[in-house]
Amino acid sequence: MNVVGPPFGLSVWDPALDADLRAGIAAVEEGLLEATKSDVPFITDAARHLLQAGGKRFRPLLVMLGAQFGDPHAPGVIPAAVVVELTHLATLYHDDVMDEADARRGVSSANARWGNSVAVLTGDFLFSRASHILADLGPEAVRVQAEAFERLVTGQILETVGPRDGRDPLDHYMEVLAGKTSSLMAVSGRFGGMMSGAGESVVHTLTQFGERIGIAFQLADDVLDIASDHHESGKTPGTDLREGVPTLPVLHVRKMYARAGGDVSADDRRLNELLDGDLTDDTLHAEALALLRAHPALDIARRDSLRYAEEARAALAPLAECPAKAALAGLCDAAVHRAG
């Protein structure tokens, strides 16, 4: 049965786990609506703008699956899931301002609709609501979230300033992803274990799983941005390419080109020329996208995504066999099959 819906399509065959996850998702949605409610109607509208546009709720799902290794109905589980999703939503408002994005989740971005100032302040409002809920979960939860938030912001700053002189751009990119994406995924798994009262070793395992599945998830998105059409993915192909964002396939192209020392095909030379230029023009963008789809760098990027998914699966080894462990292993496939 689909718990989180496409593109993950998580299949849960255990009736008790299925019921728990469905009830948990519903409770998280209620918690998100409550957390985004303000005495000022305009703030409520802005705060719920992306919330009501939908989303995968992947991070709350990790919290709830992690909680299955303790008491999944412990009072802190649902609030922790709400916290991680509020934090994620807040970063989207800020990301859209930095990226000057016009749309998000099929609707106008908050900055396009109300301007950058409102978008930034709405993100701050969501952070404040997450902190308010977090305060009731205890000082350890506050510390864990603070450390993750520092990593998240550090990753964003590193992406903004770019690699330092002499640093391999690919290594730099993976460091960015560890901060921007993996930090909150790791906290999601950790909170699930912590709030349910699971043992320390279980909490550590769930944290490590979150770290790895976060990287696999983002790398699969990088491949999807190039490889899929709009019908398959629900997003416009080559969005990152058009915006000049150097995702994994592009970084592999550049690295392979540099290593070849000029001994490359005409298509490779043309692709690198295009990547160095402005790809907002539809014709040039389409040409670059076609060349990238035919380039071996795309398969290398796809294998990278699958490798991190397998590392995430391997990280689950210490956990006892149970439906929740099988579901987490299934997420490894679900997160990357989109790029297959």
Burial 170-195 (b: 16+ CB within 10 A, else e): bebbbbbbbbbbbbbbbbbbbbbbbb
Q: Which residue intervals of the chain bear CATH 1.10.600.10?
A: 1-198, 201-319
Residue 304 has pLDDT above 50, yes or no: yes
Residue 301 has pLDDT above 80, yes or no: yes
- Of the two residues 3 and 29, the one the predictor is more confident about is 29
pLDDT digits (tens, 9 = 90+) for 215-253: 999 999 899 889 876 544 445 678 888 888 889 999 999
pLDDT digits (tens, 9 = 90+) for 261-289: 778 899 999 999 999 999 989 999 999 99
DSSP label of 70: S
Predicted local confidence at residue 228, as pLDDT: 76
Q: Measuring CA to CA, which residue among 104, 62, 97, 101 is closest to residue 83?
A: 62
Q: Which two tokens stand for residue 337?
A: 């099959």
Cβ-count burial of 140 within 10 angstroms (0-12 exposed, 13-18 middle, 19+ buried)?
Answer: exposed
Q: Measuring CA to CA, which residue among 128, 132, 144, 211 is closest to residue 175?
A: 211
C-alpha–C-alpha distance, residues 297 and 275, integer Å? 14
The DSSP code sequence of 167-236 is --HHHHHHHHHIIIIIHHHHHHHHHHHHHHT--HHHHHHHHHHHHHHHHHHHHHHHHHHHH--HHHHSS-
Predicted local confidence at residue 132, as pLDDT: 95
C-alpha–C-alpha distance, residues 122 and 103, integer Å? 16
pLDDT digits (tens, 9 = 90+) for 62-74: 999 999 999 999 9
Name the pLDDT band for 6 (thresholds 50, 70, 90).
very low
Q: Which two tokens stand for residue 3?
A: 């718990």
- For residue 39, the Cα-to-chain-centroid distance in whole angstroms is 31
Predicted local confidence at residue 103, as pLDDT: 63
**CATH class of the structural domain 1-198:** mainly alpha
Predicted local confidence at residue 100, as pLDDT: 65
Check if the beta carbon of residue 301 is closer than 8 Å to that of residue 249.
yes
The superfamily CATH assigns to domain 201-319 is Farnesyl Diphosphate Synthase (1.10.600.10)
Residues near 42 by beta carbon (within 8 Å), at least 6 away in sequence: none
Predicted local confidence at residue 97, as pLDDT: 75
pLDDT digits (tens, 9 = 90+) for 74-125: 999 999 999 999 999 988 887 777 766 666 666 777 777 777 888 889 889 9
Q: Measuring CA to CA, which residue among 24, 139, 37 is closest to residue 82?
A: 24
pLDDT digits (tens, 9 = 90+) for 126-184: 999 999 999 999 999 999 999 999 999 999 999 889 999 889 999 999 999 999 999 99
Residue 18 has pLDDT above 60, yes or no: yes
Residue 33 has pLDDT above 70, yes or no: yes
Predicted local confidence at residue 147, as pLDDT: 95
Name the pLDDT band for 23 (thresholds 50, 70, 90).
very high
Predicted local confidence at residue 230, as pLDDT: 53
DSSP, collapsed to helix, strand or coil, labels residue 104 as strand
pLDDT digits (tens, 9 = 90+) for 50-66: 887 777 899 999 999 99
Predicted local confidence at residue 235, as pLDDT: 55
Name the pLDDT band for 9 (thresholds 50, 70, 90).
low
- For residue 301, the Cα-to-chain-centroid distance in whole angstroms is 17
